[in-house]
Structure 1
Amino acid sequence: MNAVPGHFVGLDLGTSGVRAVALDAAGRPVTSLRRNWSDAERSGRDPGAWWDAVRGLLGQLGARLPAGPVAIAVDGTSGTLLAVDRDGQPLGPALLYHDARARAQAARLAALAPRESAAHGAASSAAKLLWLRDQGLPREAARVLHQAEWISGGLLGRYDRGDANNALKLGYDAAEDRWPDWWLAELGPVAGLLPRIVPAGTVVGRIDRAVARSTGLHPLSRIVAGTTDSIAGFLATGVDDLHTGITSLGSTLVLKQWSAQPVFDPDTGVYSHRVLGRWLAGGASNTGGAALAVHFTPAQIAELSLAIDPHQDSGLRYYPLPRPGERFPANDPGRIPELSPRPADDARFLHGLLEGIARIEAAGYAHLTRLGTAPVARIVTVGGGAANPQWTALRACVTGVPVRSAAQEEAAHGAALLARRAFLEG
């Protein structure tokens, strides 16, 4: 039971499908697989589709990998929640990460939860649990679990464990390592549905025998408590120091950074996860790729960028947003996009947009520093914007620190590293 697995598998359940990555003992990728959602599965609410995809990919891995035990960790979308019975069978469709129907329940949480709690907001899994309770949970409900926790439970053959990263939005107190008293009092008997929480990266047991038989995986394979998709993506970069910021340039602008202590700022949506015995802080602005997409296609951005001199100031002072409202580095729901004057030259207009996003990035890291993180000395970039060399050089000029693209950013890779860490670096 104590033997070190020969390979480490990460499973990433995303919005477009499931990815699987296998690493060898040295952390080198051995194989990767992907299963996209079909049109019928695209809503993402059917846990049965998640399980079928995972089992299918593990079966392919079982046929590809050398004989011997593996370790598996799962990441999933943060805040996606479902209720299950004692056998782990879902009692309805999942409530997805962006589901915000629980507005009335969020208002109640606003009056109960400490300001620094990640339970706030209609899309939090805490609000979703209150919504399920208020709708009348079925008598057979035995547990509420997040997406990654439910898949891990299926691999284990039991559904009693959750991980501290997914649990944060369910009201878990990461600083105290427990479910807080205010939350247990509010839930009453429903508190019995909460799983036992362990740190991400904890070995939680041996693979279920039936799963091992159906996938061809070794029966001594181990399951490791997983994490959220965004944290797995951060881990994939391999960044391990306090002075490196990770910027995700996707549809939004997301900043993450290791911190020596937890930092929280509910007003700007900054909170901290405990990961591998340390703290990971972050915040997200509404600017980013979605703000660019209002004006240009990806092909146009690539072409116009070639005409930009990143070392020259555009002379424009934009605050690019796809629509009114900002949350980080300053919380301003009424903030309108600042995009004038617009020059006739599209390349100069794009230059101003990219500069504006870079200034928001710099302000975001400055805000994290004010809250208690170390000043960034370098930035590693993930997401679609990382492939734009002019934007990268421009961001280095604006932030005043070197900027480079991450060698690896796939969440499944990060989950595999988490599984490896449990045995080789823990």
Structure 2
Amino acid sequence: MAYLGIDLGTSGLRALLVDEAGAPLASAERHYEAQHPHPGWSEQEPASWIAALEGAVSDLRAEPAWPALRGIGVAGHMHGAVLLNAEDQVLRPCILWNDTRAHAEAAELDARSEFRAISGNIVFPGFTAPKLCWVQRHEPEVFARIAKVLLPAAFLSLYLTGEHVADMSDSAGTSWLDIAGRDWSEALLAAGHMRRDQMPRLVEGSEPAGDLRKDLAANWGLSGPVTVAGGAGDNAAAACGTGALGEGQGFVSLGTSGVLLAARDGCHPRPESALHSFCHAVPGRWYQMGVMLSCTDSLNWLSRIAGLRPAELTAPLGVTLQPPGRVRFLPYLSGERTPHNDAVIRGAFTGLGAETGRDEMTRAVLEGVAFGLRDSAEALRSAGADLSHLLAIGGGSRSRYWLRLIATVLDTPLHLPASGEFGAALGAARLGLIAATGAAPEEVIRPPATAEVIEPVAALVPAFDEAYSTFGPAYHGIRAIQ
């Protein structure tokens, strides 16, 4: 048997075909663009996702295992608002997660105590509920015609199954879900001027959402029944791909933004720390994550100024971790999420001297990002999360110096996975396998093999603890003058 994982990203779609053991067989990708018609706006045509899916499937149909496809899982970028009329026609382009037009509406909703109490999260401008308030206020003729609101992954599921259905993990990012009760909240819907009948049916991500439409199956050259899983939001799917299912399992992702995610066996929201607390893609599980907006993007910024590739910037540092430098960098080039929830703050260097060179500035950037991740780690620990070790993934994990630095600043061993698949597409495929076969999630969602463990440099932990103690005050000092 074969199973298909679909990772619907902001810039492209990736489809991964795996066998019954979860081993990758083949993959295909298609790319598309987002539109930015006004400053702060970010939109996408949902039709481009369908075209990308069909293109990826056309590539995978040549694989010998394709006719044995029995399960599909969809992971998608969260918080987007796909608005449909009564005939399931798209009313306007999808407003994406990184669209900030609804900042005023988000502040209005967040000022109501029930949102943090029930949804477990700050109402961020990128979340779905404030987007709908913005549409009601600025596009009333569109708002009046809304029959259903779907997230991007749920829109693909509608195309696959013909049903309006969404999973708990994705829906937890709307500000309409009771994350502890795992159901739509009548109070939050009413406060956001929405109704339950405008919401999709909820299922767990590992449960069947429906069957692949017969006409679509025929077009794809499939004859047997194909189960479509509930699926997941992108970070929950990544957690499934990395095997972060229960307490004590998590990962740090060193990408353009930085993510520190911990799986939880219970619901322990801490919205005041700007942690995201969401339902996991399997029943009875949750996850929490801290997000910093400029992770490898900080190093990329310095590399553009220096006219060198990031690897050329870090190479002179070698592999032996040095004590904290005098120069400090605040990595707030695009604002910050956890723990400050501050869209206005911007980055800064402090401690510069006439003797400061490029290597000192590079070290400061790496240390500043590590301290930003420490902010998320402290928030997670305050919520009771177990960070005894973390899987390290993302482009930044190629730098051994940076990994040793982060391990030391967090005082947490970092496990590097062996080569192979462990991302959102694999997580989605695993959910499709579970939904189709009824397998226990614990049997399928397992961590990858560890290729190497990066241990903290114990002798330098106290020095970095002391340096970190000045990081928070530096934020407040810079914030006061910006």
TM-score (structure 2 length as normaliser): 0.80
Label 1:110 to 1:344 Cα distance change in 2 as closer, same or farther (>3 A): closer
Contact 2:81–2:131 (8 Å) recurs in 1: yes
Label 1:127 to 1:219 Cα distance change in 2 as closer, same or farther (>3 A): farther
The residue number in structure 1 matching 2:349 is: 339
Contact 1:13–1:50 (8 Å) recurs in 2: yes
Structure 1 segment 63-74 matched on structure 2, within 5 A = 63-64=62-63, 65-74=65-74
**One-letter identity of the residue aligned with 2:115:** P
Deviations 1:86-140 (A, max 9, x none): 4422122111111222234323312334324347122210111222334223665
Gaps of 5+ in 2: 442-482
The residue number in structure 2 matching 1:62 is: 61
Contact 1:310–1:391 (8 Å) recurs in 2: no
Structure 1 segment 238-317 matched on structure 2, within 5 A = 238-275=243-280, 276=282, 277-297=284-304, 299-308=308-317, 309-316=319-326
Matched, 1:417 2:422: no
**One-letter identity of the residue aligned with 1:412:** A
Deviations 1:234-274 (A, max 9, x none): 22222345334311112222110012322322233213222
Deviation at 1:229, TM superposition (A): 1.6
1:218 counterpart SS class: coil
The residue number in structure 2 matching 1:3 is: none
Deviations 1:334-391 (A, max 9, x none): 75534222353322321222122223323421221112212x1222112210111221
Deviations 1:391-422 (A, max 9, x none): 11222233222223344443212211222233
**One-letter identity of the residue aligned with 1:288:** C
Contact 1:269–1:327 (8 Å) recurs in 2: yes
Contact 2:7–2:74 (8 Å) recurs in 1: yes
Structure 1 segment 339-358 matched on structure 2, within 5 A = 339-342=349-352, 343-358=355-370
The residue number in structure 1 matching 2:396 is: 385
**One-letter identity of the residue aligned with 2:393:** V
Count of aligned residue pairs for this structure pair: 419
Over the aligned positions, Cα root-mean-square deviation in angstroms equals 2.7
Moved more, 40-49 or 274-283: 40-49
TM-score (structure 1 length as normaliser): 0.89
Moved more, 321-330 or 408-417: 321-330
Deviation at 1:24, TM superposition (A): 0.6
Matched, 1:365 2:370: no
Match of 2:160 among 155, 158, 171: 155
Label 1:149 to 1:321 Cα distance change in 2 as closer, same or farther (>3 A): same
Contact 1:73–1:418 (8 Å) recurs in 2: yes
Contact 1:133–1:190 (8 Å) recurs in 2: no
Matched, 1:133 2:143: no
Deviation at 1:279, TM superposition (A): 1.3
**One-letter identity of the residue aligned with 2:266:** Q
Label 1:313 to 1:256 Cα distance change in 2 as closer, same or farther (>3 A): same
Contact 1:81–1:146 (8 Å) recurs in 2: yes
Moved more, 113-122 or 219-228: 113-122
Match of 1:326 among 327, 333, 336: 336
Q: Distance in 1 between matches of 2:56 and 2:71?
A: 15
Q: Distance in 1 between matches of 2:115 and 2:194?
A: 22
Matched, 1:49 2:56: no
Deviations 1:171-217 (A, max 9, x none): 11121122223224335674421112111121122110111112223
2:27 counterpart SS class: strand
Moved more, 231-240 or 333-342: 333-342
Gaps of 5+ in 1: 1-5
Identity %: 27
The residue number in structure 1 matching 2:212 is: 207
Q: Distance in 2 between matches of 1:221 and 1:363?
A: 44
The residue number in structure 2 matching 1:13 is: 8
1:123 counterpart SS class: coil
Contact 1:10–1:21 (8 Å) recurs in 2: yes
Label 1:319 to 1:72 Cα distance change in 2 as closer, same or farther (>3 A): same
Q: Distance in 2 between matches of 1:93 and 1:60?
A: 27
Label 1:51 to 1:299 Cα distance change in 2 as closer, same or farther (>3 A): same
Deviation at 1:323, TM superposition (A): 3.0
**One-letter identity of the residue aligned with 1:282:** M
Deviations 1:319-339 (A, max 9, x none): 432437433234566755342
